[in-house]
Structures are given as C-alpha cells and as structure tokens.
Structure 1
C-alpha cells in the first residue's frame, strides 16, 4: 500500500506523547524508570506497581542490561564478543547462553533474508568508520574492500552446543561479529521478560527507540505509540500505532551517517557490495512479537530497498512501514499486515 505524504515520519523518535492526551479516568499506579545503556537511553513504564519497588526494579534492570553489554558489546574489550573476535583460530570459543541465543537468531534471520542481514560485516563496518575504529580520511579502495570481505560471510560462523555449554566457532581468521543490528532489541526483550517474571505484565520497554509493550497501559487501554515528525525542537505526532504484546523497531539512514569525499555515507553496510547502502529508502519500521527479531529485520529490510522489502514482507506476512525519498518529498509504503496497527 502506498500513501503520498508531505511530511515524513521519524519512527526512530518513537515517543509516548499520546499518554497525556488520552481520556482521563481510573488509573493504576505506574513507575517510569530511565537510564543509560548500549550507548543510548532506556525508558521503562511499569503499570501496577509504585515507587516502593522502583529502586529494586531499576537495580535489576541495570544489572541485566549491563550483563548484555558485557556479553555482546564490541566497544568493551573484555566482552564475550570482543574476546571471540580476537580469537585467532577455529577452536570452539565458550560463550554464555544469551550470546549463543542472539548469534543463533542472527544466523537464522541471515538465512531467511538471503544473507542481507550479516552480522559478520563487522570488519566492513569498522573500515567505513562506524565501529570502534576511527573514521577513514578517504573512501576505502576496492582493493581494501576485497581484502576485508575475505574475512566476512555467515558461512564462516557457527554456534555449537553440547552438554558442557555453548560455543561460537569461526572458520576464517579475522572473522569479526557485530551484533549492533540485533542486540538492542534483545536488551528490550530481556527487560520485558524480567518484568513478566515478576508478575508485572503491563509494561512498556524502550531502548534507543526500539520498543516492546505488554498488556495494557495505566488507563487499561492499548498502548499507543506516537511516531514523531523529525525536525528541531519537540516533535509533533505524525502517525499513531496501537500495540499490545508486540514490539516495534526502526532502522533509518538519516541519523547515523557522515560525509566523506563529498558523499553521504550510511552506517548500514550492504553485504553484497561491501559499501554503505545507497538506496532511497529512508527508514523501515517493523512490528513483531520479538523486539530482537524486529530489530534485525528492520536492518535487513533497510538494505533491501523499498520494492524488495515490500515483496519480502508480503511473502513472510510481516508488518512493516517504509519511508522512501522522492523528488517531491517522502512516500509512505506499508505492508498489508501493518494497516491494522494504525490509529488516527
């Protein structure tokens, strides 16, 4: 479905602006917890509890998110993933069950998307200056790209499990795994699942724009996520999405980029070319029960481009919302599965 619009959405700026606009009525108690993680922020709304539990909940949320960073951050030299990336041979490298779970999901989504989602493009991400390494002073040469690409490819990464634990294994030296396309969504799932374990089934969890909701809000209504228009100052509502027991994640090319040699470079790398993507798809929003999967798919669909992403979504019955640049502005496209989530 294609809709012409004069203003485009910024789903990366997912906000909860509508909460104050909903009809007044009987409300359950709610706490709002905020903090920092994964180089961004988190925001957690928990319905059915009060400030007496806030400190306990936040301490455990912080502990669990810190553990995810210790497992999967490429910015921490002593994380499990960083140590695996430095691992020089093909012997199995022991990791936690969580790291194995996320890498397994990444490999599954990589196969599903025909290799478009590839968590082994880390060396290319670093070469283009979007990882822990410094940005290049010039566009990498084709020779540099060819050399780096010999160290990438999902076929070189395996997850092994036996009665002693879980392991990662690489079949080429220098294989470097970057889970930034999936780990933030996993962190959201971790927090949501913890709250559910505590019997707090009505909640909203956000990490840097990736969101998962469970149950109902404090007014006993469906969670309504307001998607903002971009621009300076406070954002205004462009589109409302109604969710319950679902997640929403966005990938976009308009926030994490820089210019080099007169060319604007996106942070998203196309595994097929080794270059940053250069299509007119500005952003992709995906709704899925798992925030980890929504996060991964949003990145993959961003690489595919508009027409291919829409076809893929229809084939796999995915709920996606796209913003594509045109000469007249931005065009909204959505899959048929997304339409039922629109509110107002």
Structure 2
C-alpha cells in the first residue's frame, strides 16, 4: 500500500471525478516488476487501461524477466536453443545492441553471471562477494558481441558462441515497460500523458491542467535508502523519456572485508566497487534507450564518459560525481541545460 501511495504522490493526483472533458486528469497506479508504476493522462473519454497495463506486465514477465522461473529468457539461459521469442523481445535485444555498441561495451546485458555472483540478480544469493579468481572465471561468459538473434518461421531465436552465458534485460526493464505502456496509450489515441515505472518516465504532449510541458524531478544522490528524497533539479519534458541510475540506491557491504559493492557491474573488469560517479540521468527518444545509456554511464569511468558524450548527440546526459574533496559536481552533455526548468 505504501508503494501505491508513493506512486500516487509522484503523479500529483488532482481529480478523480466522473466528468471527463479533455482537461480532466485520469490516473492509474499499481505495482510491477518489483516496483511501482504511475500513469497520468488526458482524454475526452474515460478509459479503463488497468487490464491493458496488466497484460503488458504479464507479457514482459513471461518473455524477459529473469525473476520468473519459466520465462523465455530463463529458458534461453538454461541452454535451450530452440526457444522462440517474439517481436517485443527482438526489439529490446536490438536496442540493447545499439547501446552496447555506442558505449564501447559498458552496457552489456550478458553481465548476468557476475550480477548473480555479487548477489544482486535473480539467481544471486551469495553473502560474500566473488573472489578475483571467480571474477576472472566468469568474464569468459561476458560479451554481448557473442550473442545474436535470427529470424525463424514463427519468431526469433537467440544464439551464443559460448555456452553458459546469462542474458538479462533487468538494467533496462523499467524503461522497456514504460515504452510498452506509452505505446498502448498511443494506440488508444491518447496524445498527452506521463508514464512512470520505478522512477523512469516518458512524457508526451503537455500537462493540460497547467498548459505546460510535463515537469519531472531529478533526485539528489544519497548513499542510503533511508530518508526523504530531495529533488535536485526539475526538467521540462515533451515527447521525451528520461531514466536514471545510481549506486546509492542499491549496494551491499562485505562484513569480512568492509568493502562496499554496488549493483552496477563493470562488464569489462567484472568489478562492482563504487566510483566517484554517484548518479546518472539520461534523456532520450524512448525509455529503453535512456535506461540502457544511464546504466552504461554509471558503469564507465568518468573520463571515458567525458570522451563519449560529444559523440552521442541523440541523447542528453547529466552525470553527478564527487570530486577529490567529496563535493558533488556535474558533467553534462551540451544540450542538457535546455531541459532544465529555469
């Protein structure tokens, strides 16, 4: 119940009346993929989209969730090369390939074996972090370039050049779900909406109540899950998606060594230790891409990010990092400030 209330607060629910003219808000909130979702939209007819949202969540879980034991992706990870996947799976696979290529491999959905080894994944229950020998052994199963997807008679099949690889789309799952819900709203003729899943958002059109673009907050990074979230800056979004990643949200402490481990694993080194980068927010055309790029910039060293930002002119990026004195600093793409509410 607390989760649903939190989602409702995010969406600033104002009206739940029966009258539905074009400027009357319609809102829906609920739970999905281990987090909450919230939808706010305007339409001249009252729409009950709850069944559609539940069908989308079920499709996602059965196809791409490693937390569902008999999902398609888990059957692929178990070594079944005959599994056929649908168009939605293929689309996410292709988006993941794009981000993987654009970020020189810092986004890699085959990092699942390492994520599990650190205890952050669906199959991870380890109390201790993996040893350097274990990490070296698992790195042979990492590399999205070792995987491909091909067309078959009734869909698509995933192939890999190395047995034992573990594919997961958890790092872009929330963004993907946002895009699927947005697509459903488009098909129903909704032209003005805000969709949010676990903090990842997509905004289309305007907030007709206020006759403005949609206003979305970027939270200040914290090293703990306790305490209230503070909005650092507000962004005006129209026909754009935004996703964020931050290691302050999910981390572990090894009691023996005292080492802190974070949920974002560097796929090139296998390490999951904190860096001076504490949070990333990305604005993109869709939320799957925004989510993937945010994960990549969270995993890569700051200097590498600075080199890549000018090359990726189809996204806008805000990187929050700590300088040598522990002060919060910002690295931004050239066009990011254009979205900041003055």
More strand per residue: 1
Task: Find the counterpart in structure 2 of residue 9 from structure 1.
Answer: none
1:28 aligns with 2:26: no
CA contact (8 A) 1:17 1:226 kept: no
Task: Find the counterpart in structure 1 of residue 278 from structure 2.
Answer: 282
Aligned equivalents of 1:341, 1:18: Cα separation in 2: 21
- 1:66 is displaced (CA, Å) by 1.7
Match of 2:137, SS? Answer: helix
Task: Find the counterpart in structure 2 of residue 264 from structure 1.
Answer: 260
CA contact (8 A) 2:277 2:322 kept: yes
Task: Find the counterpart in structure 2 of residue 142 from structure 1.
Answer: 132
Of 141-150 and 188-197, deviating more is 141-150
- 1:17 is displaced (CA, Å) by 7.7
CA contact (8 A) 1:319 1:338 kept: yes
Aligned residues: 321
Match of 1:195, SS? Answer: helix
1:323 aligns with 2:320: yes
- 1:93 is displaced (CA, Å) by 3.1
- 1:145 is displaced (CA, Å) by 1.4
- Runs of 4+ deviating beyond 6 Å: 17-20
Of 56-65 and 246-255, deviating more is 56-65
Task: Find the counterpart in structure 2 of residue 176 from structure 1.
Answer: 166
Aligned equivalents of 1:179, 1:152: Cα separation in 2: 14
Deviations 1:107-127 (A, max 9, x none): 222122111111101000000
Match of 1:286, SS? Answer: strand
Normalised to the residue count of structure 1, the TM-score between the two structures is: 0.87
The answer to which structure, 1 or 2, has the higher relative contact order (CA under 8 A, 6+ apart) is 1
Task: Find the counterpart in structure 1 of residue 102 from structure 2.
Answer: 112
1:98 aligns with 2:88: yes
Aligned equivalents of 1:27, 1:158: Cα separation in 2: 45
- 1:274 is displaced (CA, Å) by 0.8
Out of 132, 140, 154, the residue aligned to residue 144 of structure 2 is 154
Show structure 2 runs of 5+ residues with no match.
Answer: 1-6, 15-20
Deviations 1:48-68 (A, max 9, x none): 246x42xx2111111112211
Of 284-293 and 27-36, deviating more is 27-36
Out of 324, 331, 334, the residue aligned to residue 333 of structure 1 is 331
CA contact (8 A) 1:257 1:265 kept: yes
Residues 244 and 272 (structure 1 numbering): CA distance in 2 closer, same or farther, change over 3 Å?
Answer: same
Task: Find the counterpart in structure 2 of residue 224 from structure 1.
Answer: 215
- 1:319 is displaced (CA, Å) by 0.6
Residues 237 and 104 (structure 1 numbering): CA distance in 2 closer, same or farther, change over 3 Å?
Answer: closer
Out of 77, 87, 94, the residue aligned to residue 85 of structure 1 is 77
Deviations 1:43-87 (A, max 9, x none): 00011246x42xx21111111122111111101011111111112
Task: Find the counterpart in structure 1 of residue 18 from structure 2.
Answer: none
Match of 2:260, SS? Answer: strand
Aligned equivalents of 1:329, 1:104: Cα separation in 2: 38
Match of 1:343, SS? Answer: coil
Match of 2:49, SS? Answer: helix
CA contact (8 A) 1:277 1:303 kept: no
- 1:244 is displaced (CA, Å) by 0.2
Of 235-244 and 196-205, deviating more is 235-244
Match of 1:95, SS? Answer: coil
Task: Find the counterpart in structure 1 of residue 59 from structure 2.
Answer: 67
Residues 336 and 60 (structure 1 numbering): CA distance in 2 closer, same or farther, change over 3 Å?
Answer: same
CA contact (8 A) 1:18 1:224 kept: no
1:132 aligns with 2:132: no
Residues 298 and 228 (structure 1 numbering): CA distance in 2 closer, same or farther, change over 3 Å?
Answer: closer
